[in-house]
Amino acid sequence: MAEEAKWYVVHTYSGYESKVAATILQTVENRKLHDYISEVSIPTETVQEIKNSKTVEREHNMFPGYVLVKMVMNDDSWHIVRNIRGVTGFVGPGGKPVALTDEEVASLGVEQKQLTVDYHTGDSVRITDGSLDGFIGTVEEVSPEKNKVRVTISMFGRDTPVELELDQVEPI
């Protein structure tokens, strides 16, 4: 059932995000509902603040009052999440939950897709996406942690370095 799970946005009282997330996870653990509710996330970003002439890094909630839950939507899972203290409802028209699209999930950075690349520095690759589709070049650098690859292509008789995403190139 976990394959049918989608990400939903739960609206909470502002400041209760961590408490709601912890309560959802505890309820899943107590009732053995891992098949219905698989993950809970609070999107955060690291912000640098200057206090007393010192730079301090702090985690900042990207969406105060919201928690993301990856779950299989049915009456039982909806009821469990909806009735947790601090939850005001799901985000959607008329309170009816609407799942996030894959693009929305990717842009929030909630799920990191691991790409395995079968090319290395010095290999010849073909660009398969974007404005340089069809060009052939040589891999200069692969950065899986940044999801980037630097490829040198020959354009107008000159070698030009181009930075692309890992899935935009394929080995020849």
Gyration radius of the chain over CA positions: 22
Q: CA 86 to CA 83: how far, in whole Å? A: 9
Strand partners, 9: 68
Is pLDDT of 157 > 80? yes
Is pLDDT of 109 > 80? no
Task: Read off the pLDDT band of 119 (50, 70, 90).
Answer: confident
| Residue 61, pLDDT score | 86
Q: Is 63 helix (H, G, I), strand (E, B) or coil?
A: coil
Burial 89-99 (b: 16+ CB within 10 A, else e): ebbeeeeebeb
pTM here is 0.62
Task: Read off the pLDDT band of 103 (50, 70, 90).
Answer: confident
Q: CA 78 to CA 4: how far, in whole Å? A: 15
Is pLDDT of 120 > 60? yes
* Topology annotation, domain 124-171: SH3 type barrels. (2.30.30)
Q: Which CATH number fits domain 2-108: 3.30.70.940, 3.40.50.1820, 3.30.450.40, 2.60.40.1510?
A: 3.30.70.940
Is pLDDT of 140 > 60? yes
The ranges assigned to domains in the chain are 2-108, 124-171
Residue 95 in tokens: 């309170």
Kindly state the average pLDDT of the residues 72-77.
90
| Residue 2, pLDDT score | 52
